[in-house]
């Protein structure tokens, strides 16, 4: 009898693992299809373009990963911050408006943008930790408010930016490697060190792993949850310069596609983790895969609206498979 029960539990865990790999398998199939359909899809030029275009998504995914690590991996009740892309676009709008319309030095404009981003993160922390709103609802509401502020700043119009620093981020290279890729790698290494090599990062992960256990251990869970939202907003502020570089200016509405890519990439990256949890490096790989998919669809002439529909469907698959995998793993472990 015990062996039969053990076999059943083992089968349940195997099914959970297979469900967790489903989104990654779908992406692999799509990428293989694109490799046969799109000309020179895996050429050096294409790979370089994919890496450069993925930069804003990578940076915002780092921010979202920090929130998920602190709040837990449950896609419904765990950590989530949907306002990071809007924060990035807000910061980009502030920089573009100040540099182009007011002649503000770009360093000062960037400082103003980062302060605005931190205020958004602080507001999210208050809504979630102090007031008790669910992260999903709180950050969705703040995202809508931030997008409204962006429209006020830009008058719902594109603001071009041709500042040398932005052009350098877009076109510059060091030893043949894009400046943007190098800076993004440095940002990733800083995030990785903070999360995995510091006491702060260990406590942050402990809060997300089990809030009750963290509280029993004396860890101030509310403080770390609050800090995760501030870190995520700061990541959005950093992403603003790359948003400006990728688009050669600030364009209202770019937060929508960035939001789709951020959520899809971050939770897709969980498939790379042995425990099927969101990780920093998994989110980075997910961002590159999502960008590769977008560029591939564009190269074969898929309508941009259909691309959005496909991404939306993939988000449903990723979130649903993550939820099913977690439930199956919980049943297997409980048994």
Query: pLDDT tens for residues 166-217?
Result: 999 999 999 888 999 999 999 999 999 999 999 999 999 999 888 889 888 8
Q: How many CB atoms lie within 10 A of CB 101?
A: 11
DSSP-assigned letters across all residues of 239-253: HHHHHHHHHTEE-TT
**pLDDT at position 14:** 60
Task: Kindly indicate the confidence band of residue 2, based on its pLDDT and cuts at 50, 70 and 90.
Answer: very low
What is the per-residue pLDDT for 18? 63
How many contiguous H segments (helices) and E segments (strands) does the chain have? 14, 4
Q: Could you tell me the pLDDT band of residue 95, with boundaries at 50, 70 and 90?
A: very high
- Overall average pLDDT of the 294-300 stretch: 87
pLDDT digits (tens, 9 = 90+) for 224-245: 999 999 999 999 999 999 999 9
Q: Picking from 53-62, 91-100, 249-258, which range would have the lowest pLDDT averaged per residue?
A: 249-258
Q: What sign does the dihedral 36-42-46-50 (CA atoms) show?
A: positive
Say what the pLDDT of residue 5 is.
Answer: 47
Specify whether the CB–CB gap between 215 and 206 falls below 8 A: no
Give residue 176's pLDDT.
84
Around Cβ 57, how many Cβ atoms within 10 Å?
29
Q: What is the model's pLDDT at position 276?
A: 74
Residue range 4-15: average pLDDT? Answer: 52
pLDDT reported for residue 326: 62
Q: What is the pLDDT of residue 1?
A: 47
Q: Whole-number mean pLDDT of the chain? A: 87
Closest CA to 73 of 210, 237, 200: 210
> b/e string for 142-156 if b means 16 or more Cβ within 10 A?
bbeebbebbeebbee
The residues near 227 (Cβ < 8 Å, ≥ 6 apart) are 70, 125, 200, 204
pLDDT, tens digit (0-9, with 9 covering 90-100), for 57-81: 999 999 999 999 999 876 666 789 9
DSSP 8-state assignment for residue 218: T
**E strands in the chain:** 159-160, 173-174, 177-178, 249-250
Q: Taking 70 as the threshold, does the pLDDT of residue 15 lie above it?
A: no
Percent of the chain with pLDDT over 90: 55
Task: Kindly tell me if the per-residue pLDDT of 46 is higher than 90.
Answer: no
Percent of the chain with pLDDT over 70: 88
């Amino acid at each position: 009898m015990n062996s039969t029960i053990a076999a059943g539990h083992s089968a349940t865990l195997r099914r959970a693992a297979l469900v967790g790999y489903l989104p990654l398998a779908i992406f692999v199939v799509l990428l293989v299809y694109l490799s046969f359909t799109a000309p020179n899809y895996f050429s050096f030029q294409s790979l370089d373009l994919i890496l450069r275009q993925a930069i804003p998504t990578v940076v915002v995914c780092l921010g979202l990963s920090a929130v998920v690590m602190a709040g837990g991996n449950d896609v419904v009740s765990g950590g989530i911050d949907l306002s990071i892309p809007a924060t990035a676009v807000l910061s980009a709008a502030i920089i573009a408006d100040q540099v182009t319309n007011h002649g503000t030095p770009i360093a000062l404009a960037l400082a103003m943008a980062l302060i605005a981003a931190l205020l958004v993160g602080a507001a999210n922390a208050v809504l979630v930790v102090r007031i008790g709103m669910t992260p999903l609802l709180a950050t969705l509401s703040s995202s809508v408010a931030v997008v409204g502020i962006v429209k006020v700043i830009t008058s719902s119009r594109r603001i071009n930016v041709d500042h040398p620093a932005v052009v350098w981020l877009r076109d510059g290279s060091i030893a043949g490697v894009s400046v943007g890729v190098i800076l993004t790698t440095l940002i990733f290494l800083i995030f990785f060190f903070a999360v995995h090599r510091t006491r702060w990062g260990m406590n942050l992960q402990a809060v997300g792993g089990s809030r009750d256990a963290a509280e029993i251990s004396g860890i101030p869970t509310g403080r770390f949850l609050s800090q995760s939202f501030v870190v995520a907003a700061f990541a959005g502020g950093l992403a603003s310069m790359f948003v400006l570089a990728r688009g050669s200016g600030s364009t209202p509405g770019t937060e929508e596609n960035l939001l789709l890519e951020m959520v899809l990439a971050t939770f897709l990256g969980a498939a790379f983790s042995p425990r099927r949890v969101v990780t920093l490096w998994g989110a980075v790989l997910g961002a590159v895969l999502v960008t590769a998919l977008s560029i591939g669809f564009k190269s074969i002439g898929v309508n941009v609206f259909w691309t959005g529909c496909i991404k939306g469907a993939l988000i449903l698959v990723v979130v649903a498979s993550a939820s099913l995998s977690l439930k199956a793993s919980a049943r297997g472990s409980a048994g």
